[in-house]
């Protein structure tokens, strides 16, 4: 089976994780700084849900938020279709709809081979002479189109600081400003976050890459010690996927229940159930090329088995293989001032919890450490070098909601009353940390500063998955090889990348989080439908009617709220890359994991048995809105995430580009 993890290795940033340290030198003339009367701070909390916020605020759990809106505003913020984080944050930054900024999902499909590719950025690998001497540095192309509003502000002389902004890899240059990238920065292996699980309890058949983002390594102890390897980034000087590894040693003291960890001259003795400090990792490709990363260990147990978790290896902020900040040394300056911090865009290890290699306690410890460190970065900037416009984004509210919704929804298949007693308040605690950050920022800013708090979307429970390709096959829109005269169930497969699909006789297929593509002539390699023919529109009508009327066989409830035609919800020169149809599911349902990468498994509606239990990615934007808070009133009640960019520009009397779709909202 081709696993999701292998897809990440092969497609995401396989050549990206090992590159040359690149510095950028600006040739752009810095505009003169303007004097401004009032500053602006925008805080983003990914996935903060307005209904949960209001519920917990009314219960007295969020005092700083309540105090903020008592003299300002709280309302729901319109999101994008689909309400996915990269799609919505791209709209937040550019003020444009996906048809212009070009981000429709985490992944996109290649119409030449029907395989998924990462949609957010594209790597261009380095070149080496004789496999040793670097003659071309690697590059990364940010696939988001358009100019973000904070770039326009900086170009206009407004001092601007942006922290952990999604889709800023590589980051834009901000004259007289600073930016640290966020979501879409990979780990040093070139994935969205490969965790490591070292254990004596693994059999040799369990080792290797797990389905959802882990590297499982079997340990064998001798004299209470175990020697192993940390498999790191791909070596670009060698053909194929050849990874660089470095030695790692564990020495167990069972009497004291502690573990000595030794790595490249660094040593630390860590008690069972505790985290290590940050270790530095150096992977040497050849004498001219070294890759530097940072990561932390957690000693899961020392007896009767030895089990150790290692976080994904982040780019070292002081020596990243690619610029993750602008100026390029800004990340290093932050580390020098505040110590190591995560640079990985997917900052919270949802994969290790989903694979059940760490438990809820460990996950939440890491969440609060990470959220606290990112808050320190923000406070440091507000105290030491305050900007006229500051933007900072936090993602813990999203990650914790994904993983813990099962503990606030008794109807979820993975609801556990015992765990709910211990960790049922995890989402609330994350919102309380958000509330603490809001309160601290209010204390650090002056009375004239405008504060806006946003989220990109809301949240729902995700109880059941929908196998879209299986539905397409059963309805005759997708053809499986050898299906004539055979029971379709014999041909279904859990494997990704469209196993057994007969493309020459397939009309439509699904890939990603709710997208359906028509197998078009002139676009797909084996297209069978002409887009200009009446058959195209008739096909869409039949698929829409079938999906919107489909009911869950267990309860008779409709699963899908609406199916949108791409041409009806997107406009702009990037529409060519959008899906023909976008499914919007009702609460409690979502595209299945298998559908995301093109599987055609048995069954159409399947229980979601993963700890990843809350979602929003393929929900309807009408019931998945985000939050909008401010210390000032707004002149409109109908505000969308696309409106934040032009509103911020107008606030500083900077012209709003005509390509922006959002409208200006005045602050009272």
- Residues 475-496: pLDDT tens digits? 999 999 988 767 788 888 888 8
Give the helix, strand, coil percentages of the chain, each rounded to 5.
Answer: 25, 30, 45
| Inter-CA distances, 195 with 236, 278, 557, Å | 22, 15, 38
Partners of 245 in beta bridges: 231
273: exposed, middle or buried (Cβ count in 10 Å: 0-12, 13-18, 19+): middle
Question: Would you give the distance in Å from CA 411 to the centre of its chain?
Answer: 27
In this predicted structure, which of 77-81, 285-289, 346-350 has the lowest mean pLDDT?
285-289
Query: 313-341 burial by CB neighbour count: b if 16+ within 10 A, else e?
Result: bbbbbbbbbbbbbbbbebbbebbeeeebb
**What's the average model confidence in pLDDT over 163-179?**
96
CATH of 41-187+328-459+623-651, one of 3.40.720.10, 3.20.20.70, 3.10.129.10, 3.40.190.10: 3.40.720.10
DSSP secondary-structure letter at 213?
S
Per-residue pLDDT reduced to its tens digit, 590-634: 999 999 999 999 999 999 999 999 999 999 999 999 999 999 999
Conformation bin of residue 165: beta by default, left when phi > 0, alpha when psi is -120 to 50: beta
The pLDDT value given to residue 418: 98
- The DSSP bridge pattern shows strands 314-315 and 325-326 to be unpaired
Residue 291: is its pLDDT beyond 70?
yes
Task: Please tell me whether residue 74 adopts helix, strand or coil conformation.
Answer: strand
Question: Would you give the distance in Å from CA 152 to the centre of its chain?
Answer: 25
The pLDDT value given to residue 130: 62
| Inter-CA distances, 434 with 63, 75, 421, 465, Å | 11, 17, 22, 30
Residue 5: is its pLDDT beyond 50?
no
- pLDDT band of residue 7 (cuts 50, 70, 90) is very low
Nearest to 81 by CA among 455, 641, 462, 558: 641
Question: Which residues make Cβ contacts (< 8 Å) with residue 452, sequence separation at least 6?
Answer: 40, 41, 42, 43, 628, 629, 630, 644
The pLDDT value given to residue 136: 67
Question: Would you give the distance in Å from CA 272 to the centre of its chain?
Answer: 31
Residue 368: is its pLDDT beyond 80?
yes
**What's the average model confidence in pLDDT over 207-226?**
91
DSSP secondary-structure letter at 222?
B
Residue 24: is its pLDDT beyond 70?
no
Let me know the angle formed at the C-alpha of 439 by 433 and 442, rounded to the nearest 5 degrees: 145
In this predicted structure, which of 203-217, 558-572, 615-629 has the lowest mean pLDDT?
203-217
The pLDDT value given to residue 287: 76
Per-residue pLDDT reduced to its tens digit, 494-541: 888 999 999 999 999 999 999 999 999 999 999 999 999 999 999 999
**In the structure encoding, which two tokens stand for residue 203, read together?**
């059999």
Instruction: Report yes or no: 299 and 311 within 8 Å, Cβ to Cβ.
Output: no
Residue 150: is its pLDDT beyond 70?
yes
At 354, which helix (H) or strand (E)?
helix 350-354
Partners of 363 in beta bridges: none
Instruction: Report yes or no: 524 and 109 within 8 Å, Cβ to Cβ.
Output: no
Partners of 394 in beta bridges: 45
DSSP secondary-structure letter at 9?
I
What is 551-611 written as a DSSP string?
Answer: B-TTT--B-EEEEEEHHHH--STTGGGS-SEEEEEPTEEEE-HHHHTT-B-S-SEEE--SS
The radius of gyration of the chain's CA atoms, rounded to the nearest angstrom, is: 25
| Inter-CA distances, 569 with 324, 499, 536, Å | 33, 31, 18
- pLDDT band of residue 140 (cuts 50, 70, 90) is confident
Strands (E), 56-211: 73-77, 107-110, 115-118, 121-124, 127-129, 133-136, 139-142, 160-165, 177-181, 195-199, 208-209
Q: How far apart are the first and last CA of the chain?
A: 58
- What is the residue-averaged pLDDT of the chain? 93
Of 23 and 420, the one with more pLDDT? 420
The pLDDT value given to residue 490: 83
Let me know the angle formed at the C-alpha of 161 by 103 and 323, rounded to the nearest 5 degrees: 60
The pLDDT value given to residue 209: 85
Work out the angle between the directed axes of helices 426-444 and 63-70 (0-180°, nearest 10). 50
Q: What is the largest CA-CA distance in the chain?
A: 76
CA distance 400 to 431: 10
Instruction: Report yes or no: 398 and 85 within 8 Å, Cβ to Cβ.
Output: yes
The pLDDT value given to residue 238: 75
Let me know the angle formed at the C-alpha of 367 by 351 and 86, rounded to the nearest 5 degrees: 60
Phi, psi of 411 (to 5 degrees): -85, -5
Nearest to 517 by CA among 504, 529, 505, 534: 529
- pLDDT band of residue 327 (cuts 50, 70, 90) is very high
Domain ranges of the chain: 41-187+328-459+623-651, 195-314, 463-615
CA distance 406 to 166: 26
CA distance 393 to 174: 17
**What's the average model confidence in pLDDT over 400-420?**
98
CA distance 410 to 177: 47
Conformation bin of residue 635: beta by default, left when phi > 0, alpha when psi is -120 to 50: alpha
Residue 22: is its pLDDT beyond 50?
no
**What's the average model confidence in pLDDT over 346-353?**
97
The pLDDT value given to residue 25: 43
CA distance 369 to 39: 29
Per-residue pLDDT reduced to its tens digit, 631-645: 999 989 999 999 999
The dihedral over CA atoms of 151, 156, 161, 166, expressed in degrees to the nearest 10, equals -10
Q: How many CA atoms lie within 13 A of 436 on its CB side?
A: 13
Instruction: Report yes or no: 450 and 42 within 8 Å, Cβ to Cβ.
Output: no
Tell me what percent of the residues of the chain surpass a pLDDT of 70: 93
The pLDDT value given to residue 131: 62
CA distance 331 to 345: 14
Residue 408: is its pLDDT beyond 50?
yes
| Inter-CA distances, 493 with 183, 602, 603, Å | 32, 7, 11
Residue 588: is its pLDDT beyond 90?
yes
- The DSSP bridge pattern shows strands 389-394 and 160-165 to be parallel
Of 622 and 241, the one with more pLDDT? 622
CA distance 201 to 259: 17
The pLDDT value given to residue 177: 96
Per-residue pLDDT reduced to its tens digit, 443-454: 999 999 999 999
The pLDDT value given to residue 52: 98
């Amino acid at each position: 089976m081709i696993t999701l993890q292998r897809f990440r290795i092969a497609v995401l940033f396989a050549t990206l994780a090992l590159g040359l340290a690149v510095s950028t030198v600006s040739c752009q003339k810095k505009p003169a700084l303007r004097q401004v009367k009032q500053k602006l701070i925008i805080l983003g909390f990914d996935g903060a849900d307005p209904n949960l916020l209001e519920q917990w605020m009314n219960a007295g759990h969020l005092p700083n938020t309540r105090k903020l809106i008592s003299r300002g505003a709280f309302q729901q913020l319109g999101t994008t279709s689909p309400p996915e984080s990269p799609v919505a944050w791209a709209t937040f930054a550019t003020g444009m709809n996906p048809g212009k900024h070009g981000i429709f999902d985490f992944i996109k499909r290649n119409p030449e081979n029907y395989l998924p590719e990462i949609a957010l950025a594209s790597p261009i690998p380095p070149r080496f002479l004789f496999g040793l001497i670097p003659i071309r540095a690697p590059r990364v192309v940010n696939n988001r189109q358009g100019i973000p509003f904070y770039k326009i502000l900086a170009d206009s002389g407004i001092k601007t600081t942006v922290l952990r902004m999604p889709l800023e890899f590589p980051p834009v240059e901000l004259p007289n400003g600073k930016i640290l990238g966020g979501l879409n920065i990979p780990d040093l292996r070139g994935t969205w976050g490969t965790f490591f699980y070292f254990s004596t309890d693994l059999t040799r058949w369990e080792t290797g890459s797990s389905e959802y983002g882990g590297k499982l390594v079997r340990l064998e102890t001798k004299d209470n010690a175990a020697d192993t390897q940390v498999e790191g980034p791909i070596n670009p000087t060698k053909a194929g996927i050849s990874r660089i590894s470095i030695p790692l040693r564990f020495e167990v003291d069972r009497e004291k229940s502690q573990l000595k960890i030794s790595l490249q001259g660094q040593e630390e003795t860590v008690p069972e159930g505790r985290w290590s400090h940050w270790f530095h990792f150096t992977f040497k490709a050849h004498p001219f090329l070294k890759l530097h990363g940072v990561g932390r260990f957690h000693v899961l147990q020392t007896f009767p088995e030895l089990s150790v978790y290692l976080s994904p290896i982040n780019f070292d902020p002081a020596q990243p293989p690619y610029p993750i900040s602008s100026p390029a040394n800004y990340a290093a300056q932050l580390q020098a001032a505040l110590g190591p911090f995560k640079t990985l865009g997917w900052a919270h290890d949802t994969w290790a919890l989903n694979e059940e290699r760490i438990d809820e306690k460990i996950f939440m410890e890491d969440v609060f450490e990470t959220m606290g460190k990112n808050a320190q970065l923000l406070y440091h900037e507000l105290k030491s070098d305050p900007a006229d416009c500051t933007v900072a984004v936090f993602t813990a509210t999203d990650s914790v909601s994904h993983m813990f919704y099962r503990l606030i929804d008794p109807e979820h298949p993975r609801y556990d009353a015992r765990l709910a007693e211990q960790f049922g308040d995890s989402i609330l605690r994350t919102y309380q940390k958000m509330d603490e950050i809001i309160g601290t920022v209010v204390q650090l800013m002056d009375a004239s500063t405008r504060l806006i708090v946003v989220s990109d979307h809301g949240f729902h429970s995700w109880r059941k998955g929908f196998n879209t390709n299986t539905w397409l096959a059963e309805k005759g829109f997708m053809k499986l090889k050898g299906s004539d005269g055979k029971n379709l169930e014999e041909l279904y497969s859990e494997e990704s990348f469209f196993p057994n699909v007969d493309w020459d006789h397939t009309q439509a297929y699904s890939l990603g989080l709710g997208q359906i593509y028509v197998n078009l002539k002139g676009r797909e390699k084996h297209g069978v439908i002409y887009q200009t023919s009446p058959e195209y529109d008739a096909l869409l009508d039949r698929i829409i009617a079938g999906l919107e009327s489909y009911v869950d066989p267990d309860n008779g409830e409709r699963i899908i709220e609406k199916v949108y035609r791409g041409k009806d919800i997107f406009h702009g020169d990037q529409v060519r890359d959008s899906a023909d149809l976008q499914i919007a599911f009702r609460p409690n349902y979502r595209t299945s994991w298998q559908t995301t990468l093109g599987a055609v498994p048995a069954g159409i509606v399947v229980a979601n048995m993963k700890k990843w239990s809350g979602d929003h990615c393929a929900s309807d934007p009408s019931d998945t809105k985000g939050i909008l808070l401010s210390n000032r009133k707004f002149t409109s009640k109908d505000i969308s995430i696309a409106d934040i960019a032009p509103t911020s520009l107008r606030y500083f009397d900077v012209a709003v580009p005509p390509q922006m779709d959002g409208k200006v909202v005045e602050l009272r």
